[in-house]
Copies of this chain bind each other. A is one copy, B any other.
């Protein structure tokens, strides 16, 4: 799986564009969830960008109807962000394309693919694949 992700990395911008998103917004979409709203500030941390950029990216996702801001239960300063139903659907579609074996891997034997995955799992960064 990691092998596929590594191979796919080059195609991020194209895949994003095919959904009308820029790479940053697609990255954002893939790290959001419908069930676990996350605060804007925590997103700035995990996306490693400025808070003002989180505002901008979430605006883009909201424009597409893919994510929505919600109120925090106990702190009225905080806005949380979660995927809409449509957002979850699009995220699933993107993941399907990301995890589908890319052209360049179709020529590999099953044995080679296994070997490749095994090796790349070893060198994958801690915390799993990062987009």
Contact = CB atoms under 8 A, between A and B. Distances in A.
Interface string A92-122: 0000000000001101100010011001101
A49 to B, nearest CB: 13
Contact of A123 (B9, B108, B119): B108
Interface string A1-30: 000001101000000000000000000000
Contacts of A7: 123
A108 B112 contact: no
Interface in A28-77: none
Nearest to A3: B119
Q: Which 6 A-B pairs have the closest CB atoms?
A: A104-B123, A116-B119, A112-B119, A115-B115, A6-B6, A105-B123
